[in-house]
Amino acid sequence: MISSFKGYAAATLSGAALCLCVGVRPAAAALPSVDISTPTNGSTVRHGTIGVNANASGAAAIVSVQFKLDGANLGAADTTSPYWTSWNTAATTDGTHVLTAVVADSLGQTATSPAVSVEVANYLPQLDITSPTNDSAVAGTISVNGLVSSGTAAGISRVQFELDGANLGSADTTAPYSTSWNTTSATDGLHYLEGRVWDTLGNNVSSYGPAAVWVANALPTVAISAPANGSTVSRTISLMAGWTGFAGITSRQFNLDGKYLGTPDISFTLGWNTTSAADGTHSLTAVVRDSLGRTSTSTAVSVTVANGLPSVAISSPTNGSTVAGTISVMANASGSAVIASVQFKLDGANLGAADASAPYTTSWNTTSAAAGAHVLTAMARDGAGNTSTSTAVSVTVDNAPPIVSAVAATGISNNAATIGWTTNELGDTQVQYGTSTAYSAMTTLNTAPVTAHSQALSGLSASTLYHFRVRSRDAAGNLAVSADSTFTTAAGNSAPVITSALSAAGTIGTAFSYQITAVNSPTSFNATGLPTGLSVNIGGLISGTPTTSGTSNVTISAANSSGTGSASLTLSVYSVCDVNRDGSTNVVDVQLQVNAALGVTACTSDINGDGSCNVIDVQRDVNAVLGGQCVFGP
């Protein structure tokens, strides 16, 4: 269908033909569209320059957008998207005005946007929140103040302050305009203060932008985050703290044991050279001051300063010792800080894992080390990272037992023998022996370290085969045991048997002799328990002059290579006056003395007239003559 056309005719003489040309125009494209996005319809604009923006589109390319104010061009047409122009509202009278935008496309088509009605209010009253200031912190009850100006001759009717969009108190009708705000009725945090002002003509407008304030009724808090409570520190470390609160922090101060550490600043880190403090326990705190002048102190953090090195010493094995098998290596460690670990080392290399608790020890299987000299050390590490190494301990690893050689039995008799041997290193001495390889007997251990060994066996049976083996243990505890060896004791006679009399008597002050005799060829004699003044020689003669009366039980013995025979000899020593040797000096002894002196055996007269002449009469006769004394003394 042809919706429009235009025609024209042209005549030519060529070919005497007449050509009628008709031009046909195609259907028109859809008109472009345009609408104003800002300012919005019904809004109020104030004194100043604002941006007027529009969105435009169409089937054909958009060539330009021309903004218009009250039908007149507002600035030059904008030819590129986004489409906008600036409007200085101060050049426009207060009141209602209409904004439109005309769009033109590449086909020459135009379209006009819906009208946007705006209220220009260059001279409306103006309210500015002057106190508190934007982004400030507040606490307690404060005064909210506003500065009001009127753009016309009309006066100010009232001012209503608002908190987070709700009325704050009642409207203030007289300058200066303010209201009281108890901030504790609001939660701590960010809040917005604004207001609205009315003039006497009924014009009203909100404040120029809200004031953002931080309600901070709670005190700020501060906590030390490094070092940790109970930690050990040394050298130079970083102190760090964190804080919370809605009022800004104006300063931070670290304290050591209640005294300033460094100078106040707003940094929450501080380098602390701990060498300026004595080793031991110290207390760290942090103090913050907020923009409201309030302070808060952190919980104290206790730290142990440990710049002194720990001490450590190996207690076992001892320096210069010889070791073998699996042993425990032990050390003692201490320091101003808690010991974190002790690492043992063998010839400079770690020996087992570090021990983190006392008593500090590690197990060492010495068979994993070559025989010979080695060095043990221990390195202690404290909680502050300080380390110290012990004095070296030298040990000799010896896991080989002594080498036994030249085992021999010598001096063999019917009841004894001597066992001898040598070792290639110092060791103790002991022999196991018996009539079988069960070795029912063992000599007493001789712990003296020697290389030439000897032990005597005694109490053996004659003509008997004995088994034996020797034992030597070196300083490292390595035990060498020889192979089984044997010897046979010699045949022998019986031990002597005492044949001499087993009783004898002597007199004080009178020479005494007694010969011990025995059978089975004794080679020596002995006597023990002799009275004072008597002795025995190797030939068995007991002799001397006794000096004390009494009876002694004397052990007499005779010995040969087969053994010793013994017996008990009752030896009595009497007083000189004890003539009848009954152990007491009395009238009988006197009678016997008189008889010996007079050569008679009876009395001479019945002195006491009892009808008989007897010892009593003799006693009386002697008493009369001698005064009652013993003839030969007491």
N- to C-terminal Cα separation, the chain = 192
Residue 506's closest CA among 553, 569, 571, 568? 571
Spell out the alpha helix ranges (H) of 458-507: none
Write out the two tokens for 461: 């049976």
Picking from 150, 182, 215, the residue at the C-terminal end of a domain is 215
535 shares its domain with 570: yes
pLDDT tens profile 213-272: 999 999 999 999 999 999 988 889 999 999 898 888 889 999 999 999 988 888 889 999
The answer to whether 145 touches 130, Cβ cutoff 8 Å, is yes
- Residue whose entry in the numeric block shows the structure tokens 């046979």: 488
Q: Which domain holds residue 416?
A: 404-489
**CATH number of 288's domain:** 2.60.40.10
pLDDT digits (tens, 9 = 90+) for 468-490: 999 999 988 899 999 999 999 98
Domain stops at, among 254, 289, 305:
305
Model confidence at 47, pLDDT cuts 50, 70, 90, reads: low
Q: What is the DSSP string of 546-602?
A: --S-EEEEEEEEEEETTEEEEEEEEEEEE-TT-TT-SSS--HHHHHHHHHHHHT-SS
Structural domain contains residue 507: yes
Q: How many domains does the chain have?
A: 7
542 plus 513 within the same structural domain: yes
The percent of residues above 70 in pLDDT, for the chain, comes to 86
What's the pTM value of the predicted model, to 2 decimals?
0.42
- Identify whether 43 is part of a domain: yes
What is the predicted pLDDT for the residue at 155? 77
- Looking at the structure, tell me whether residues 206 and 134 fall in a common domain: yes
Rounded distance, CA 195 to CA 168, Å?
Answer: 9
**Which tokens sit at 161?**
């302050």
Q: 180 and 248 in one domain?
A: no
Cβ atoms of 377 and 345 within 8 Å: the answer is yes
481 shares a domain with 414: yes
Residue 27 has pLDDT above 80, yes or no: no
- The chain-wide mean pLDDT, for the chain, equals 87
**Can you give the three-state secondary structure of 399-462, one letter per residue?**
CCCCCEEEEEEECCCCCCEEEEEEEEEEEEEEEEEECCCCCCEECCCEEEEEEEEEEEECCCCC
User: What pLDDT is recorded for position 622?
Assistant: 59
Name the band, by pLDDT with cuts 50, 70 and 90, for residue 124. Answer: confident
Q: Between the CA atoms of 526, 527, 533 and 537, what dihedral angle is there, to the nearest 10 degrees?
A: -10
* pLDDT tops 60 at residue 24: no
How many residues comprise the chain?
A: 634
Question: Of 74, 99, 120, which marks where a domain is finished?
Answer: 120
Strand, coil or helix: what is 185? helix
Whether 367 and 419 map to the same domain: the answer is no
Q: Is residue 28 part of a domain?
A: no
In this structure, the answer to whether residues 299 and 239 fall within a common structural domain is yes
Residues 354 and 426 in one domain: no
Write down the pLDDT at residue 80.
95
Q: What would you measure as the largest C-alpha separation in the chain, in angstroms?
A: 238
Does residue 206 sit within a domain? yes
Tens of pLDDT, residue by residue over 84-118, are: 999 998 888 877 899 999 999 999 999 999 999 99
Name the residue among 605, 602, 600, 597 with its Cα closest to residue 626: 597
Q: How big is the CA angle at 170 (ends 167 and 174), to the nearest 5 degrees? A: 125
Asked whether residue 580 is domain-assigned, the answer is no
Q: Are strands 387-389 and 372-382 parallel, antiparallel or unpaired?
A: antiparallel
Residue 1 falls within a domain, yes or no? no
- Residue 13 falls within a domain, yes or no? no
Work out the average pLDDT over 396-422: 94
Q: Same structural domain for residues 315 and 392?
A: yes
* Alpha-carbon distances of 545 from 250, 380, 514, 532, 571, rounded to whole Å: 119, 81, 12, 8, 13
Q: Which helix (H) or strand (E) holds 618?
A: helix 615-626
Whether residue 239 lies inside any domain: the answer is yes
CA dist 596 and 577 (Å) reads 13
- For 436, residues 6+ apart whose C-beta sits below 8 A from its C-beta are 467
Closest CA to 274 of 290, 294, 254, 293: 254
The answer to whether 224 and 241 are in contact (CB under 8 A) is: yes
Exposure pattern of 405-444 as b/e (b: 16+ CB <10 Å)?
eebebeebebbebbbbbbbebebbbbbbbeeeeebeeebe
Contact 275, 307 (CB under 8 A): yes
Quick one: 281 and 339 in the same domain? no
pLDDT confidence of residue 259: 94
